[in-house]
Each structure stands twice: as C-alpha cells, then as structure tokens.
C-alpha cells in the first residue's frame, strides 16, 4: 500500500467517532420528501466541511431544497470524478411500529437508527467525508474531484441532481460518477431498472351509497383495474447479454441481499400500486378514485411499449383515464469499467469482501449521468429496512464502505487504474 493510501486510511480511523456523530446528527435533522425541506440536513453536512476548512457552495433552485456543490483541483492533470449523494429521505412510515423515534439517530447495538439512515444519509455522509479527506490531500492527487450532495431525489424532482446537471453541467458531469446509495457491500451497481409512474383516474357520477344501481362505483372499478394491471408483470423481456450475464452470475448474491425473488424480479417488469385513494365518506358511492402505479422496467423494455400496454388495459374501463407522471428508459454502464475494478480490489483489501457487479432494482440519481453518457456506479451499505420501520445502518459495514469509497476515489484520481 502506498504511503498516501495509508495516510488516508489513518485519517478515516482518526475520524471514526466524529463520522458516527455526523451520521447520527444527519438523521436527527429530518428531511422527508415530500415535502422535501432539506435545509437543516444540508446544514449538518456544511458544518462538517466548515469545520475542516473545505470550500463548497449552496446551489438552490428552490430555497427549501439546497444542493451542496464543491470541486477540488488536483496537483496535476487527470480524470474528473464526481461524487453524488442525496440529502432528502422517504417520509417516515408507520411511526407506531418503530421501536424508537423514527428520527432518533440513535447509536445502539453497533447500528445507527432512523428514517433515511440507510437511504442514503450514510452514503451522503460518507461522500462528504471522503471529499474532505481528499481535500486535505489535494496537493498530492491528480485530476479533479467534485462533490454533489443534492436534495429532491426521492420524488425524482427537478431541484436536485437534475438542476445541477442542467445548470452546472460542466462542473458536475465529469468522467465518472460514484454514488453511495445503499445496496450491499458485496455488490457494485452498474445499471438500474427504470421507473415508469402512471396515474389512473376513475371518474363516475357517484351517488348515495344505498343506491349502487344508479352509477358505477369508482372504487370497485379501480379494484378490477388493479387486478387486470397485474398482467403487465408477465411481459416477455429480452435482456441485453451483458446484463443477463451479470444477473445470472450474481443471482445467488442478489437473492441473499434482497431476499429470494430479487434476481427473478431484476429481469422482469414489476408493478407496485403505490397509492390507491377513492371516495369521501363510507356511505357515499364514490365518484372518484385515483391509483398511482410504479412500474419498474428492465433493460430492453421501452417505456413507450409499456405505456401502450397499460393504455390498452385502462381503455377497457370507460370511466378510467391514464396519465404518465414520470417515464425513464432503463440504462446501464460497462460492468468492466475501471471503477468497478477499483471498488472490487479495495473492498477486498479493507473489508475482505468479494464484490460482484450487478444491476439495481431501485432507481438512483446515477441514472441522470448514464443518460448523459457518463459511466456511473453505485456502491453502498446493505439497504436495511429502507422505507420500513426501524431503518438502520450497521456501523462496521459502513466503515468498510467508507474506506472503499475513499481509496477508490483516490486511486481513480491518481490514475491508479492505468498503472
């Protein structure tokens, strides 16, 4: 191990307690989206950088959703690496089923607990810390390192990474994107399924609930439609060979980290009826009902095709109409990219972990870089209870991920790959 790599690791070890406190404080600064007010949480991250004299800017399109942006020039020419994490989190779910306050940030049983701890405050805290450590070493590294800690990821909103790419493209695009969304430290993600969000509105005239013969019921139409919609999960899929191979090679690990069924779902269309709301009062025959469907498309299935397919089903119901809320094309980066090799090598070295390149089920902001032709990779801790009660992060696992990120970023900027 080179001297600079050794020094980087000892900086991380020295900062261990401070790092834990950073994550805990970040969780204690709630940033659920919606509504997406991330000012307090962004302030926690800014505090870490301020304390270490690291320059950054707050770039905010929406004042309640600031993005933290900073760049370091190395001492010599080299590749441009961009780090990306998000500050916002899912809203807390089922408060009554948590064993503690959902925003406690408690450090207990070698874990940090709270809403968004895993997705992805651990990852964003990690990248902010990596940025500060490499800032301390900037006289010795090459290339350029950019930090983006963004708001507005959870709803794929316009104020976060998308805003930065559209308005600060030359600074945040780079040559490679490294993201720390949760997944599992045994996998590096080179691709992700694409979400297609569709709203379906059912409108009938409604009536008094005792007169069900007068008009069709919007809720009962919705129930039938939901059952019909399930057929899209049987769509025939032709995966690109590189992706199919990665899924096949990683199947056992995919099922281990994401529970059995995950590898099969990776190559399939899946349907989630995320929200279903209808009616006003129990004794009124509902005249309105709305369904929001989150369909995940594997590589090779185009959103246009799926929209048409859903449209055919919706058209069977004269009272229903559909609208596309959000549509994306599934993308993938080269699973043999140098960043994949660096992560695999460093994870083995610092944590003794064998890492496989696999695609991801969930969507991340990394897709925005892939869409612009930039190879983008995600490496993070196990996604423990994301969007569920008792979301948490295992501290030892996390420290391994932090070190892997730090070394891989350093190696990439040092042109380690080409050696």
Partner 1 sequence: MSLQAEREQLLTWIDQERDELVNFLARFVRSPSPNPPGDTRNATAALLEWLAKVGLPARTIAPRPEMPNIVASFKGTRPGRHLVLNGHIDVFPCNDADRWTRDPWGGQMADGRIYGRGVSDMKNGTVALLFAFGWLAKLKDRLPGRLTFTAVSDEETGGTWGAKYLLDHHPEVLGECLLSAEPGGPTTIRFGEKGILRAAVIIETSGCHGAYTHKSASATRVAARIATELAAVDDLAVTMDGAVERALDEAAEEIDRIHVAGAATVIKRFTLNIGVVRGGVKVNMLPGTCRLECDVRIPIGESVERALSLMRTIVARHSQARLEVMGFTEPNWSDPGHPMVQHLRDASVRVRGFRPFAITSLGASDARLWRMQGVPAFTYGTTATNVAMPDEHTDVEEWIGVVKTLTLAAHAYLNGEGAA
Residues in contact with partner 1 by CB under 8 A are: 34, 90-91, 93-94, 119, 154-155, 193, 195, 197, 205-214, 217, 219-220, 222-224, 226-227, 230, 258-262, 264-265, 270-289, 292-294, 296, 325, 361-363, 383, 386-388
Beta carbon of residue 93, minimum distance to partner 1 (angstroms, whole number)? 6
Least distance CB 404 / partner 1 (angstroms)? 23
Which residues, listed in sequence order, are joined to residue 399 by a DSSP beta bridge? none
- 107 close to 33: Cβ distance less than 8 angstroms: no
Identify whether the C-beta of residue 356 lies closer than 8 Å to the C-beta of residue 188.
Answer: yes
CB nearer partner 1, residue 205 or residue 305: 205
Whether the CA torsion 380, 382, 388, 391 is positive or negative: it is negative
Report the C-alpha gap between 39 and 43 in whole angstroms. 6
Give min distance, CB of 258 to partner 1, in A: 6
Cβ distance to partner 1 smaller for residue 221 or 351: 221
338 vs 386 by CB, closer to partner 1: 386
The angle that helices 16-28 and 3-14 make with each other, rounded to 10 degrees, is 50
Rank residues 208 and 336 by Cβ distance to partner 1 and give the closer one.
Answer: 208
- Torsion, Cα 396 398 400 406, to 10 degrees, reads -150
User: Closest Cα to residue 407, out of 133, 63, 199, 190?
Assistant: 133
- Shortest CB 283 distance to partner 1, Å: 5
CB of 94 to partner 1, least distance (A): 6
- 59 versus 271: smaller Cβ distance to partner 1: 271
Rounded (to 5) percent helix, strand, coil in the chain = 40, 25, 35
**Closest approach of partner 1 to the CB of residue 227, in Å:** 6
Q: Please, which residue, 6 or 99, has the CB nearer to partner 1?
A: 99
Q: How far apart are the first and last CA of the chain?
A: 14
Under 8 Å between Cβ of 138 and 416:
no
**Judged by CB, which is closer to partner 1: 278, or 335?**
278
Nearer to partner 1 among residue 208 and residue 348 (C-beta): 208
Q: Are the C-beta atoms of 350 and 403 separated by less than 8 Å?
A: yes
Whether the Cβ atoms of residue 146 and residue 209 lie closer than 8 Å to each other: no
Nearest approach, Cβ of residue 362 and partner 1 (Å): 4
Give kind and range of the element (H or E) at residue 413: helix 395-413
CA dihedral sign of residues 355, 358, 362, 368? positive
Least Å distance, CB 252 to partner 1, is 15
């Amino acid at each position: 191990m080179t001297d600079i790599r050794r020094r980087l690791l000892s900086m991380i070890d020295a900062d261990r307690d401070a790092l834990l406190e950073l994550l805990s404080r970040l969780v204690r600064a709630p940033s659920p989206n919606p509504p997406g007010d991330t000012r307090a949480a962004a302030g926690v991250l800014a505090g870490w950088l301020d304390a270490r004299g690291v320059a950054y800017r707050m770039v905010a399109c929406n004042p309640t959703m600031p993005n933290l942006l900073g760049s370091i020039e190395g001492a010599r020419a080299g590749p441009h690496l961009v780090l990306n994490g998000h500050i916002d989190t899912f809203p807390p779910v089922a408060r009554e089923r948590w064993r503690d306050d959902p925003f406690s940030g408690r450090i207990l049983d070698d874990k940090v607990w709270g809403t968004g701890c895993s997705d992805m405050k651990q990852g964003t805290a990690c990248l902010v810390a990596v940025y500060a450590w490499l800032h301390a070493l900037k006289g010795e590294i090459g290339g350029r390192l950019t930090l983006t800690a963004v708001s507005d990821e959870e709803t794929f909103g316009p104020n976060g990474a998308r805003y930065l790419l559209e308005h600060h493209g030359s600074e945040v695009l780079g040559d490679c994107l490294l993201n720390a969304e949760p997944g599992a430290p045994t996998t590096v993600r080179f691709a992700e399924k694409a979400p297609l969000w569709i709203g379906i509105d059912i409108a009938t005239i409604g009536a008094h609930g005792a007169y069900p013969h007068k008009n069709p019921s919007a809720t009962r139409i919705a129930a039938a439609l939901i059952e019909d919609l399930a057929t899209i999960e049987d769509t025939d899929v032709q995966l690109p060979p590189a992706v199919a191979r990665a899924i096949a090679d990683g199947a056992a690990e995919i099922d281990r980290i994401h529970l059995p069924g995950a590898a099969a779902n990776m190559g399939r269309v899946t349907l989630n009826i995320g929200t279903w709301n209808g009616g006003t009062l129990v004794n009124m025959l509902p005249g309105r009902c709305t369904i929001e469907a989150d369909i995940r498309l594997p590589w090779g299935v185009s959103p246009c095709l799926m929209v048409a397919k859903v449209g055919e089903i919706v058209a069977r119901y004269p009272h229903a109409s559909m609208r596309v809320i959000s549509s994306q094309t599934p993308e993938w980066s080269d699973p043999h990219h140098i960043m994949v090799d660096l992560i695999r090598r460093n994870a083995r070295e610092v944590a003794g972990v064998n890492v496989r390149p696999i695609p991801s089920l969930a969507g991340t902001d990394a897709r925005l870089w892939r869409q612009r032709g930039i190879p983008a990779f995600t490496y993070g801790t196990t996604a423990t209870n994301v969007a569920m009660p008792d979301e948490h992060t295992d501290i030892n696992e996390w420290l391994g991920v932090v070190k892997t990120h730090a070394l891989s970023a350093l190696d990439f900027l040092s042109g380690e790959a080409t050696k």
